[in-house]
Amino acid sequence: MSPLKEIFNNIENLDTKSVDSLIQSIEKNNIPGFDFVEFKQSLAALAKMSLDEATAIKSAFATASTVGLTKQKLLESGEYYKGILRKEKEMFDVALQNQIKIKVEGKQIEVKKLQEDIEKHKQTILQLEKQIEDARDVIQSADNVIKTEKDKIDTTKNNFEKAFEHLSSQIDTDLKNINQYIA
């Protein structure tokens, strides 16, 4: 498990693949030095000591300020990581649209063409009846594939959006608490 995974609360019910992808992006884009991520790691460590939230935030900030962290840098770096999450969501949305085009719309076009072929074959001679039956079989299986792929895509989208909203909300809460508890 990624060490950064431990800094976010209540992620157990989120899609692991989506959470891992978002956290890997934060790790890959982690700014060198002490910033929001390291501050959040300090808070996670202090949480194990059963400190109240205000005391934990103030204590973590007091320690971090000894290495040059300012409230402004802390807030700016928190916004930076939210931006990283937004970029990941944008890339996810593009990939999702591509998957829909490939796996759903492409199959729908294929099905439509096969339906047109069936109408042509019905008007031709009897020996084309076998081709009509073959095309109907393909359409039947394509409908099942379309439904299955669309269901998979919808589930992936929903899982990712839950993870994105949860992590973004936590960062918002952290930033609010930082503003509230750090002068």
Q: For residue 48, what is the DSSP state?
A: T
**Domain enclosing residue 128, as ranges:** 3-181
Cα four-point dihedral sign 95, 100, 105, 106 = positive
Phi–psi pair at 59, nearest 5 degrees: -65, -45
Q: What is the distance between the alpha carbons of residues 93 and 82, in angstroms, rounded to a whole number? A: 16
Please count the structural domains in the chain: 1
Q: What is the pLDDT along the chain (183 residues), one digit of tens a residue?
A: 567 888 888 888 999 999 999 999 999 999 999 999 999 999 988 888 988 999 999 999 999 999 999 999 999 999 999 999 999 999 999 999 998 888 888 788 888 888 888 888 777 766 757 776 888 888 888 888 888 989 999 999 999 999 999 999 999 998 999 999 998
